[in-house]
Amino acid sequence: MEVITEKREDRQMLMVMHLSQLLNFISGFGGIIVPLILWQVKKEEIRDIDHHAKQIINFQISYYIYFAVAALLCIIFVGVLILPFLGLIALIFPILNGIKANNGEPINYPLTIQFLK
């Protein structure tokens, strides 16, 4: 269970970390690099950044795998149906979890493989 952060500035930084995943739509890998950098820079200052960062990294790695598989499945036209669904999830859940982090609520990313625990 996640510890709720008391300081408003800490919650805002967690929100920025979640929303930074949207950089994937611009740069491709910014959505994993920016949270990694923020995690390393702020890990001593923000109490529960470790939990949020691990969830974000797990989500990003999982969805890179899912996108790669869906791209391969485009050969048999199944991926054409899967790619928009994955794109919507990659757009919606960072925004929802950014809002939840800002409100101090627990976060959840669907279909995430737990690489980091």
Query: Distance between CA 55 and CA 60 in Å, rounded?
Result: 9
Question: What's the pLDDT score for residue 1?
Answer: 46
Look at residue 3 and tell me whether its pLDDT is greater than 60: no
CA dist 107 and 1 (Å) reads 10
Average pLDDT score over the chain? 90
Judge residue 83's burial from the number of C-beta atoms within 10 Å of its C-beta, 0-12 exposed, 13-18 middle, 19 or more buried: middle
pLDDT at 116: 87
Whole-structure pTM value = 0.88
Residue 4 has pLDDT above 70, yes or no: no
Quote the pLDDT of residue 6: 65
Element (H, E) at 77: none
pLDDT tens per residue across span 32-89: 999 999 999 999 988 889 999 999 999 999 999 999 999 999 888 888 989 999 999 9
